[in-house]
């Protein structure tokens, strides 16, 4: 395996791996694939800002949540799933999965 950082490349063995990771070196296997990243890595602000903007655009709105709840309730009703007191998406999905799991046995 190899430890790389900048233009430095060292051949290392398993016993040296953690030392080089702590020193900020990436560890590559014999095929050249990264198997561990060195400590202290940072992301340029431009990349962070672009990713944050993309993730903010993917946020789920309350209207989407309500629509999802209605779809799940309709599915449960059509398939005879007792939702009990479940009112959240996670709770309803859990009840549906439990009912489907019980139906398979």
pLDDT of residue 5: 94
pLDDT tops 80 at residue 31: yes
Average the pLDDT over each of 29-33, 38-42, 62-66 and give the range with the smallest value: 62-66
pLDDT of residue 78: 92
Average pLDDT across the chain, whole number: 88
d(CA 70, CA 83): 13
Give the tens place of pLDDT for each residue, 71-100.
Answer: 999 999 998 999 988 888 889 999 999 888
What single string gives the DSSP state of each residue in 23-87?
Answer: TT-EEE-TTS-EEEPPTT----HHHHHHHHHHHHHTPPPHHHHHHHHHHHHHHHHHTT---TT--
């Amino acid at each position: 395996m190899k430890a790389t950082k900048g233009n430095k490349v060292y051949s290392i063995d398993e016993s040296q791996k953690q030392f080089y990771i702590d020193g900020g070196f990436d560890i590559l296997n014999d095929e050249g694939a990264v198997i561990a990243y060195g400590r202290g890595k940072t992301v340029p602000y431009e990349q962070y800002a672009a990713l944050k903007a993309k993730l903010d655009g993917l946020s789920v709105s309350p209207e989407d949540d309500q629509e999802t709840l209605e779809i799940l309730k309709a599915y449960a009703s059509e398939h005879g799933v007792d939702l009990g007191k479940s009112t959240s998406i996670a709770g309803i999905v859990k009840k549906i999965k439990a009912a489907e799991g019980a139906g398979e046995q």
